[in-house]
Amino acid sequence: MLGLEAVLIVLVVPTSLPLVESLVTPGCMIWVGDGKGRLGAGSLPLNGGSTVGLVDGGITTDILHMASALSLHDLVTTRRGRRCPRVWYLSIVEVSHAAVGGVTAAVTHIARYRKVDPPPKPGTVPLAVPRDASTVLAFTKTVRHYRRAPVVKVFEMPVLTNLGPLEAPFYHSGGLLPFPLDTAVRVLIPTLFSRDGCWGLRTVSATEVLLALDVSDALIPRFAAVSNTLLKSLLPGRALVASYKALFPDTEGHPVREGLMVTGGVGMLEDKQSFERLEEKKSCAAEVAEDARSPPKASGPTGMDGAKEAVELRKGAGVIATDAILRQTERKEREKAAVKHDDAQVPEYLWVEHMLQDFEWKIKNGERRVWSQTELADIPEYLTVLRRWALSWWKQNLLREFERYLGEDVSAMAMKHPQVVEWNSKKVRYCWIPTSGRSSYVSWYRGRWGLRPQDMEAGGDAIRRA
């Protein structure tokens, strides 16, 4: 993306050495240690005019001495220091990850230190259509915990939405993900085969974390064994690339593009913003929630036939109508993500069509089934009853049949569990036997896994996916 080639990498500790070796080219030199007093222009001559140093962390005195020895006149760091050292010039940009098309709530502060002369004024970052976390989360993963579908809806610009308590948060999949991000973060997301009105609650995987931090698909296999410590230390790639291009506007090879101003704070826009450029780029990758209550619009300037409508900016307001940009993006491009939001319409007509096709191939008295208009009108109501009630009944019967099969196959499983409840006359109901009831039942229930582990694992997976 940046057109840079790594020629020297200095690692203070060798923890990430195998990962770095798999990412760099064979001609890159890797130095493990502080390099103080050892690295210099004699050992590795560099041309300071065409070389830049990328520092993960803050600038220290040792780093400045090493840069001077290597004739590095440009340093880019991910952490701003308290004060600018002498004979160095400092330039800082602030970029929101969500503003450049990211899915986390990260806000990066990238600083450029230049020694020879003051750096040019930071440029701008092109505006990107916002995305939400659902574009990087998988909807087919197995989920063991469910919650009611959230009432909170994320519209237009996604935001970080916590749906749980402060001590155990979980976040809306239609919003942003927290930062720093690791595999302990929980999200509430619509999943397959879940009960009507419920969403699945699960943690994000390492692959989803890397996708959220803009790691490419080609590099994800190289991060096979990553820890949460390493994931927390990663910064979002889109924000880093946008910050770097803003700090080096003279190396782009073309005039500075209008877009999101990073020098005056995230969220400011120039009045010269052109929507035709965004219309040609078609850079939207996420489905935007559509109002399910509004009927389909007729074809025309704002219809669903893909036609565009000219949008007028509010001069001087510094705010752009995000929904207007999204309307200018073709619907087919937004539907490629295959994302369903909580306020989107459920395509029930597909279920009706599939059921009719299945019944057409069932022969009755040597002829195909012919549906009357009255039957066709009642089919959606029948499907609603089947989905809301009969599906849960079928799952319960499936679980009972599986337990009955295990009980008949293994005699030890057919044994009844010990007496664990007793009648409580004060509460007028059955209660656990004090000190032993619940623990005895739990030990009996878990003890079945050791008898037929393969059957239990396969059957349990099939029941969860049902």
Q: Please give the pLDDT value at position 95.
A: 86
At position 151, the amino acid (one-letter code) is V
Q: Please give the pLDDT value at position 451.
A: 67
Q: Directed axis angle between helix 391-409 and helix 453-465, to 10°?
A: 170
What string of pLDDT tens digits covers the 466 residues of the chain? 666 777 777 877 777 777 777 777 777 777 777 655 555 545 554 544 467 788 887 777 778 777 777 777 778 888 776 677 777 788 888 888 888 888 898 888 888 888 777 777 777 777 777 888 888 888 878 788 888 888 755 556 788 888 888 888 899 888 889 988 888 899 988 887 777 788 888 899 888 888 888 888 778 877 767 788 888 888 888 888 888 888 887 665 333 333 333 333 332 222 233 333 333 333 333 333 343 334 444 433 333 333 333 333 333 333 344 454 554 454 445 444 444 445 555 666 667 777 777 666 555 555 666 777 787 778 878 877 877 788 888 888 888 888 777 766 665 555 566 677 888 888 888 888 877 777 877 777 777 666 677 777 788 778 777 6
Q: Please give the pLDDT value at position 158.
A: 81
Q: Quick check: bond before 180 cis, omega within 30?
A: yes
Of 246, 394, 265, whose CA–CA distance to 319 is shortest?
265
Whole-model pTM: value is 0.51
Q: Are 134 and 158 in contact (CB under 8 A)?
A: no
Of 156, 155, 154, 157, whose CA–CA distance to 173 is shortest?
154
| Longest pairwise C-alpha distance within the chain | 95
Laid out side by side, the sheet with 198-203 consists of 145-148, 198-203, 186-189, 171-172
CA end-to-end span of the chain, whole Å? Answer: 44
| Residues 413/416/419/420 CA torsion (nearest 10 deg) | 50
Q: Please give the pLDDT value at position 448.
A: 65
> Residue 304 phi/psi, 5° resolution?
-90, 10
Q: Please give the pLDDT value at position 34.
A: 65
Q: Please give the pLDDT value at position 283.
A: 39
Between CA 106 and CA 362 the distance in angstroms is 56
Q: Please give the pLDDT value at position 30.
A: 76
Compute the Cα dihedral for 225, 227, 233, 236 and give only its sign. Answer: positive
Q: Please give the pLDDT value at position 300.
A: 39
Residue 90, SS3 per DSSP: strand
Q: Are 6 and 21 in contact (CB under 8 A)?
A: no
